Structure formats: structure tokens, C-alpha cells
Amino acid sequence: MRSGPQDEPLISDFSDDAEMAPLIEEFAQEMPENIDRMLSHWRKQELSALRRAVHQLRGAGGGYGFPSITESAESVEQQIDTTPEDLEAIGQALDELIQLCARVAA
């Protein structure tokens, strides 16, 4: 197994905001579910459902202090919108997003 930045927990920009702590915790707890949902849509090639799930992360990520999730989700969305036939590119972008999501820590 590789070690390095990929395995480091992803900390919210708002981690020192007491008001945000319970929100971030909930956001982190939902991540496995979000990842499962995206993977399941991906496996079934349900691109519009996948895009919707990704879009929700894009809208919320930055708000919870995870701007990298918003950026990464945006590029998945763009791949789906511009080259829906290029499944390899979508898969790659999605993989990056899921890596980030998996590192989200409360």
C-alpha cells in the first residue's frame, strides 16, 4: 500500500469553527453513503443519476470547508457534460473525487 498525501485525512477549512463542528461531522459521516451511491450509479452506467450525486457534492463541498471536493466534482460534471462517451475520462475524474471524499475527516 502506498502512503502519503492520498491517505492523509482531509480537514475542513472551518475545522476551528465550533458552530460548524457538528455539521462537518455529519457531512463526514455521510461520505461512505455518498461514495457508494456514486459507485453504484457508475457501475450501472447511470450517468444522469451519477451527475446529480456529484452535483450535490459540488454545491456542498466548499460550504463545508472542502473546496477541493467542489473543484473535483466540477471536473467530473464537466466530463459528463462534454464527453459523455469518454467513460475512461469520466472514470478517472470520478476516481479522484472518490479518493477525496474517502479522506474527509470530521
Partner 1 sequence: MPQRIAEQSPILLLIDDAPNIHRLLAVKLKDEGIDFLAALSGEEGLQLATSHQPSLILLDINMPDLDGFEVLLRLKNEPSTMEIPVIVLSSAHDSELKVRAFELGAMDYVCKPFDVPELRARIQSAIRLTRLMRLLEHRAQIDSLTGLWNRAHLNKRLEAEINQASRKKTPLSFVMCDLDHFKKLNDTLGHPAGDLALQTFAKILQEQIRDYDTACRYGGEEFAIILPNTPVSEAVGVCERIRQAAEVASWRKYPDMNITASFGVSDRPIEGREDAQGWIEAADRTLYAAKQAGRNRVLAFSETPPDSKSDSKSDKSDAPRVRLAS
Is 84 near partner 1 (CB under 8 A)?
no
Which grid coordinates are listed for 36?
Answer: 457508494
Is 37 near partner 1 (CB under 8 A)?
no
Whether 68 contacts 100, CB under 8 Å? yes
Q: Could you tell me the smallest distance in angstroms from the CB atom of residue 55 to partner 1?
A: 5
Residues contacting 3, CB < 8 A, separation 6+: none
Is 19 near partner 1 (CB under 8 A)?
yes
Is 41 near partner 1 (CB under 8 A)?
no
How far is residue 68's CA from residue 65's CA, in Å, rounded to a whole number?
9
Cα angle vertex 10, ends 19, 66, to 5°? 55
104, β-bridge pairs:
10
Per CB under 8 A, the segment of 1-9, 37-45, 60-68, 92-100 that binds partner 1 is 60-68
Pick the closer one to partner 1 by CB: 58 or 103. 58
The residues that touch partner 1, with contacts defined as CB under 8 A, are 19-20, 23, 26-27, 30, 52, 55-56, 58-64, 67, 70, 74
